Structure 1
Amino acid sequence: MAACVTVYHREGCHLCDRMFAELRSLQRRLDFHVQPVDIDEDPQLKERFNVKVPVLAVEDEILCCHFLDVPGLERALEPD
C-alpha cells in the first residue's frame, strides 16, 4: 500500500511548485501518493506553516520545510 505524503503549500509559491515537480519525478521509483493541502484555506494551518511552506509530512510526521529532503523521504518510505 502506498504511503501518503502530504505537502502543505500555497498557490503562487515557487518553492512549492518545485517540490511538487521533484515529488512527481520520485513517484516513478518510490511508492507514495501526494496529498496537497493549501494552507490558505485553513486559518490554523496558515498560522502554523505560513513562512515554512512548502512543508512535507509523511504519515503525519513533518519531514522537511522549504526544500525536499530526498534521502529523508527515501528513509521514511522504507518498509518496516
Structure 2
Amino acid sequence: MRPVTKLTLVSRRYCHLCTEMAAALETLAADFGVAIEVVDVDADAALEALYDELVPVLLHDGHELCHYFLDASKVRDYLSEIR
C-alpha cells in the first residue's frame, strides 16, 4: 500500500484567503486521496520568515505549488504526475 500524499497549507487564523484556500482544497483532496496538514505560519519563526506575506501557501515536500489562491489545475496536474 502506497503512503498517503500530504500537502501542507501554510496559513494563519485571521486570513480570509487562507480560509478560502482550505475550503477549495477539500474537493481536490478528496478526488486525489491526499491529506492536508494546516500549519500556522505565526507559530514558527522560520516559516514566518519564508512565507509571511505569501500566505496561504500550498506545499508538497517543501515544493511550493501555489500561494494566495489555489491553482487547482496546476495542483491537479502535479498530483497526477507524482502518483
Q: TM-score scaled to structure 2, two decimals?
A: 0.87
- Which SS does the other structure have where 1:27 is aligned? helix
Which residue of 2 is the match for residue 44 of structure 1? 46
Deviation at 1:75, TM superposition (A): 1.2
Q: TM-score scaled to structure 1, two decimals?
A: 0.90
1:69 to 60, 71, 82: 71
Hey, which bits of structure 1, 4+ residues long, moved more than 6 A? none
Aligned identity (percent) is: 31
In 2, the alpha carbon distance for the partners of 1:62 and 1:45 equals 13
- Which SS does the other structure have where 2:70 is aligned? coil
Q: 5+ residue gaps in structure 2?
A: none
In 1, the alpha carbon distance for the partners of 2:55 and 2:26 equals 18
In 1, the alpha carbon distance for the partners of 2:38 and 2:53 equals 17
CA RMSD, Structure 1 to Structure 2 (Å): 1.2
In 1, the alpha carbon distance for the partners of 2:11 and 2:52 equals 9
In 2, the alpha carbon distance for the partners of 1:70 and 1:60 equals 18
More helix by share: 2
Aligned length: 80
Specify the code of the residue in structure 1 equivalent to 2:44: D
Q: 5+ residue gaps in structure 1?
A: none
Which residue of 1 is the match for residue 27 of structure 2? 25
Specify the code of the residue in structure 2 equivalent to 1:56: L
Deviation at 1:59, TM superposition (A): 2.7
In 2, the alpha carbon distance for the partners of 1:9 and 1:42 equals 11
